[in-house]
Structure 1
Amino acid sequence: MNGRRMIRLSKCRFATASARETFLEDYAKHHVSLSPLQRVLLTAGSAAISLANPFRGDMIACLGETTGTNALVHCHRQMKDTAEGQRILAQKPRVNTSTVELSYLGDLPPGTIGRTYRDFLDDNNVSPDDRTMVQFVDDTELAYVMQRYREVHDIFHAMLLMPTTMLGEVSVKWIEALQTRLPMCITGAIFGASRLRSRQRQLYLDYHLPWSINTGLNAKFLLGIYYEERWEQSLEDFHREMNITRLV
């Protein structure tokens, strides 16, 4: 093991020890309790705006929080079913530029999980810091599950080799909808498909939709994967382990 990797692992152990406390502090700082009426009004408003403008990430996030309780319970149960998922729930790691050493990921060999994720961020001009903190989920454990989903969404894209185009987004949303059962993923998959251009729609119907459904139903539960422990794993091995067939 080289010196740089030993230092990185040491930092990771320290970060892991404080990750849970950091999440709980952030959650307490941002959490907003809603009355039943406020929740209904916020759900209706965020749904209307999200359908009118699918690029309003803040409204989509809000809709996910106000409608996702049952789905989050399902996700939490799925994560608790595996040792890897249990570690995530216990340690509550975060994915942002203060917890993920992007320069290290960029130095990993091509074809590894970490390098693939770093290349995805660069190619699509996105940052792990773009994800907002959960506000409207009252249960702390479920709030973390939603936060984790939000922060690994781009990792899903990278692992599935899907760009941030509308076609790529809809394809990933179908997989997320089938695995997480989050209402916002279901509506995003259905209504996002209606916005595809004719050529994209044909690709979607012929290739992307069947692939997404097959992956969503047959792959392992992707939200329960501790990606931070797998940066050096090859994407080929990861796909084999997760039962994912590449579309591209």
Structure 2
Amino acid sequence: MEAPLLRARSGLRAAASSSSWHSASTAPALVSLSPSPTPTTPSSPSRHAICRSSTATRPAASATARSFSALNRPPPKYPGHVPLTRIEQAGMALGSGIMSLLNPYRADLIATLGEATATPYFIYRLRDAMLAHPTGRRILRLRPRISSKTLSIPALRALPENSVGRAYVSWLDREGVSPDTRSPVRYIDDEECAYVMQRYRECHDFYHALTGLPTVREGEVALKAFEFANTLIPMTGLSMLAVATLKPAERRRFFSVYMPWAVKNGVRSKEIINVFWEEELERDVDDLRRELGIEQPPDLREIRKREREEKKRLKEMRANGF
């Protein structure tokens, strides 16, 4: 009588134990809070199902990482932005570099070269230089633009003769250029860095006015050497390769006069990207040069004029038998 009773009690205990373990293993809140691993049995499909699910999602994540291609571009980050793959960026840098070397007056190619070679380091260095300067930070916050719509050209012509604004507009008139010729930035991904490149591009004519260098090829190469020493933008350094296209006399003058001037002044002067030109228009231009640490180079336009007159005089002397 006692033996059947003991066997019945043992069966009840086993059933209760089995029911308790099953409840614990299927309660999600307890599993998520328990620090110990959840027991599994060979018949349980949960672990294999998790492994299959994890394996199945890997190709999708990989496809997402490789989704940026020439046929599948991400959306633009600002108006006019064109995202590029690394291969496209390298090809554009090479092509625009070769073509701009053959024709240094193609401003669109030079602009493309500047954008293609400014990342991933150099444009961020220039942006950080602005962030480290109080005026530079204010420029980044306000984001002014330089064009004939933001600057009154007639008002600039009415400024005192030695003012920054008068020097700027006099240079524009003498060279026959306009502040509206600068191409918009398209190929730099970071929106703030795109503005930094646009600001550098639109201030380029102020650098011409400050130094007095003309837009002839010799003057552009000299100014690019100065800009490279000051900004480290690769395009400005690569543009100096155009010195190979100069005439022998011009090349000798560049290496003996303008290259030393560019390195000396570009390195020692303050970061010219931090000049708020719109607020300096009425200031004496010589005073601004002293503050920035920039000395004017020899007047290249006057040198070239004297050379032309000398050649003309020698030609006339030969024609007269002297």
- TM category (shorter chain) comes to 0.7 to 0.9
Distance in 2 between residues matched to 1:195 and 1:165, nearest whole Å: 12
Higher fraction of helix? 1
Structure-1 residue corresponding to 2:238: 187
Equivalent in the alignment of 1:8: none
For normalisation by structure 1, the TM-score amounts to 0.86
Matched, 1:158 2:209: yes
Structure 1 residue 201 displacement after superposition: 2.0
Q: 1:113 aligns with which of 152, 164, 171?
A: 164
Q: Deviations over 1:71-101 (max 9, x none)?
A: 1111111111211111111111100011111
The CA deviation at 1:51 is 2.1
Q: Deviations over 1:104-141 (max 9, x none)?
A: 11100111100000001000000000001000001011
Decide whether the 8 Å contact of 2:164 with 2:285 is kept in 1: yes
Q: How does 1:5-20 map to 2 (within 5 A)?
A: none
Following superposition, the deviation at residue 204 of structure 1 comes to: 1.5
Counterpart AA for 2:217 = M
Matched residue SS, 1:186:
helix
Amino acid at match of 1:222: I
Query: Paired residue for 2:284?
Result: 234
Residue identity (%): 36
CA contact (8 A) 2:78 2:191 kept: no
1:223 shift after superposition? 1.1
Aligned to 2:252: 202
Match of 1:135 in 2: 186
Residue 79 of structure 2 aligns to a residue whose secondary structure is helix
Query: How far apart are the structure 1 equivalents of 2:162 and 2:100?
Result: 35
1:151 positional shift = 0.4
Name the CA distance, whole Å, in 1 between partners of 2:227 and 2:202: 13
The aligned counterpart of 1:82 is: 133
Unmatched segments (≥5 aa) in structure 1: 1-26
Which structure 1 residue ranges, 4+ long, deviate > 6 Å from structure 2?
none
- Describe the shift of the 1:45–1:80 C-alpha distance in structure 2 as closer, same or farther (beyond 3 A): same
Q: Distance in 1 between matches of 2:265 and 2:280?
A: 20
Instruction: Report the counterpart of residue 105 of structure 2 in structure 1.
Output: 55
Q: Check conservation: 2:211, 2:296, Cα contact below 8 A.
A: yes
2:85 paired residue number: 35
For the aligned residues, what is the CA RMSD? Answer: 1.3
Structure 1 residue 35: deviation in Å? 2.0
**What is the CA distance between 1:48 and its match in structure 2?**
2.1
Which residue, 138, 142, 150 being the options, matches 1:91? 142
After TM superposition, give the deviation of residue 169 of structure 1 in Å. 0.7
The equivalent position to 1:64 in structure 2, one of 114, 122, 143, is 114
* Whole-angstrom distance in 2 between the partners of 1:227 and 1:28: 25
Q: Which has the higher contact order (CA 8 A, sep 6+)?
A: 1
Rounded to whole Å, the distance in 2 between the matches of 1:198 and 1:241 is 36
Higher Cα Rg, which structure: 2
C-alpha displacement at 1:208, in angstroms? 1.0
**Contact kept in structure 2, 1:72 and 1:180, CA below 8 Å:** no
Shift of 1:143: 0.2
Secondary structure of residue in 1 paired with 2:283: coil
TM-score normalised by structure 2 residue count? 0.66
